[in-house]
């Protein structure tokens, strides 16, 4: 078992949450508990960087859906970055690949975000 480490940083596009380790029943509350403290504003994007995620179960998926709900409540977007192949396959099986935009890196997710003022 690899403990989940959660780090956040702020970019002009919005907060980035970096996850490393197992996102499961024992650790998913760390992500859910973090959400209210995120400085997420209307028009920004929350990026969840999953580069270091080694495992994700249904509780982890629930935490990601809670992050999505938090972003939508703030009138912001959400994107996942660097989803490992083994986790990506699970997301595809349950249809989450249709719910979350994904990018190869957090930097790619930030670059792809279009602020509302410049959207067509």
pLDDT on residue 101:
95
Q: For 41-53, how does the pLDDT look when each residue is reduced to its tens digit (9 = 90+)? A: 999 999 999 999 9
> What CA–CA distance (Å, rounded) separates 30 from 13?
23
Decide if domain 5-114 falls under CATH 3.30.750.24: yes
Smallest Cα–Cα separation from 17: which of 84, 72, 63, 74? Answer: 63
* Domain ranges, ordered by start, for the chain: 5-114
Q: For 85-113, how does the pLDDT look when each residue is reduced to its tens digit (9 = 90+)? A: 999 999 999 999 999 999 999 999 999 98
Q: Are strands 102-103 and 77-81 parallel, antiparallel or unpaired?
A: parallel
Enumerate helices (H) and strands (E) in the chain, giving the number of each. 4, 5
Give this prediction's pTM: 0.92
């Amino acid at each position: 078992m690899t403990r989940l480490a959660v780090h956040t940083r702020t970019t002009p596009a919005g907060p980035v949450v970096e996850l490393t380790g197992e996102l499961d029943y024992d650790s998913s509350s760390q992500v859910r508990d973090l959400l209210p403290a995120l400085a997420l504003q209307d028009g920004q994007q929350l990026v969840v960087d999953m580069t270091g995620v080694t495992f994700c179960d249904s509780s982890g998926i629930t935490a990601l859906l809670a992050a999505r709900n938090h972003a939508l409540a703030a009138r912001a977007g959400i994107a996942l970055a660097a989803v490992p192949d083994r986790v990506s396959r699970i997301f595809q099986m349950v249809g989450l690949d249709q719910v979350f935009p994904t990018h190869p890196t957090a930097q790619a997710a930030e670059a792809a975000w279009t602020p509302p003022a410049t959207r067509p």
